[in-house]
Amino acid sequence: MPLAGLSLRNVRKSFGDALILDSVSLDVEPREFIAFLGPSGSGKSTLLRIIAGLETADAGEVWLDDRRIDRLPPGDRDVAMVFQAYALYPHMTVRENMAFGLKNARVPKAEIEARIAQAAASLEIESQLDKKPGQMSGGQRQRVAIGRAIVKHPALFLLDEPLSNLDAALRNRTRVELAQLRRRVEAALIMVTHDQAEAMTLADRIVVMNDKRIQQVGAPMELYTRPANSWVARFVGSPAMTLAPGVIAPSEGRCARVRLAGGAEVETRVARNGLAIGEPVELGLRSEYVGVTAPGAGTVDAEAALVERLGDRTLVYARLSDGLEVTAQDEGASQVRIGDRVGLEINGAAAHLFGPDGAGHHAEADAA
């Protein structure tokens, strides 16, 4: 039996007068791991619930392979959902929780037992099968919730912030388990998260959502290195990309040169096509491409407003004379202290440009 892919076509949803999703379209490949990433209120959980059948779209269609499923009840969609709050029956054992949906579907008893045994082994919860949820840790309960979805053998897994209730250490371990799990299941997975590390670690592609719409869809490093617009540039990556206001300055080559507010100029490797001299832009700078040097020795001078020591590297949050804050990166043993004057060496070849409409312009490999 061929594996199923998902297609969302112009999905729209409002709650009263509040528009939540505005004509959202997306295709998910069979066995693909997709993360819906965005701030609270971006519509990512609502979209997941529409796919699951827990919410009804006002317009649009949801297709799973060659079946339109948005008109079907949740139990007929061949979709399994793992909730943030586990949603386990407290009076049932783990075994009974995992078997519940299969019994309702009239799956033969022997097959139910086989599926539970296989899922329990994959999730390392064989010793927990006769316990009730109240006797288990949060991480164990989350594995049970995932196991209950696995035994259904669905065409699509939906995970609604499955790690958000776990402490940091357990979250990291369960993240590894999810990465291993996706290699064993014959289905696509869609996970809602607000955690960039989860999305960047687990997903084949990330769907970045904000303002009722999809802002960008791409592989994790594609979003980081080629953000579609200034909002994605700020949202994806930690620390956030610095966006420095400037204007396009005259230059002799085919690449854009940017004059910053303080007068310093940065030569980029972004093709100047469509960018007029004098046009206002924002220069996008990742911290790893802004080095710390002695005052007067870099592109611009600044004052260190905050120094964040991370062991292998040091982040210096520096303030320019016009008040703009730029995040720079220094060596782990950096001697910079708060209040020090420093030089910032900007690597223009790695810079991004964002036009007045917020659209991203990025360096081309053959730019010169």
**pLDDT tens digits along 134-181:** 888 877 887 888 888 888 888 899 998 877 666 666 677 777 777 777
Q: What percent of the chain has pLDDT over 90?
A: 65
Q: Which structure tokens are listed for 16?
A: 């009263």
Distance CA 128, CA 140 (A): 8
Of how many residues is the chain composed? 368
**77-111 residue pLDDT tens:** 999 888 877 778 889 999 999 999 888 888 999 99
Percent of the chain scoring above 70 in pLDDT: 95
pTM recorded for the entire structure: 0.88
Report the C-alpha dihedral over residues 239, 180, 144, 97, rounded to 10 degrees. Answer: 130
pLDDT at 1: 46
Helix (H/G/I), strand (E/B), else coil: 84:
coil
Can you count the helices (H) and strands (E) in the chain?
8, 21
Q: Is the pLDDT of residue 195 over 90?
A: no
Can you list the domains of the chain with their CATH numbers?
6-228 (3.40.50.300), 242-361 (2.40.50.140)
Cβ atoms of residues 247 and 327 within 8 Å: no
pLDDT at 229: 97
CB proximity list for 113: less than 8 A, separation 6 or greater: none
Poorest-pLDDT segment among 147-151, 250-254, 345-349, 362-366: 362-366
**pLDDT value at position 140?**
81
Least-confidence region, from 122-136, 202-216, 310-324, 332-346:
122-136
Query: What tokens does 18 get?
Result: 């509040």
pLDDT of residue 267: 95
SS in 3 state form for 252-306? CCCEEEEEECCCCEEEEEEECCCCCCCCEEEEEECHHHEEEECCCCCCEEEEEEE
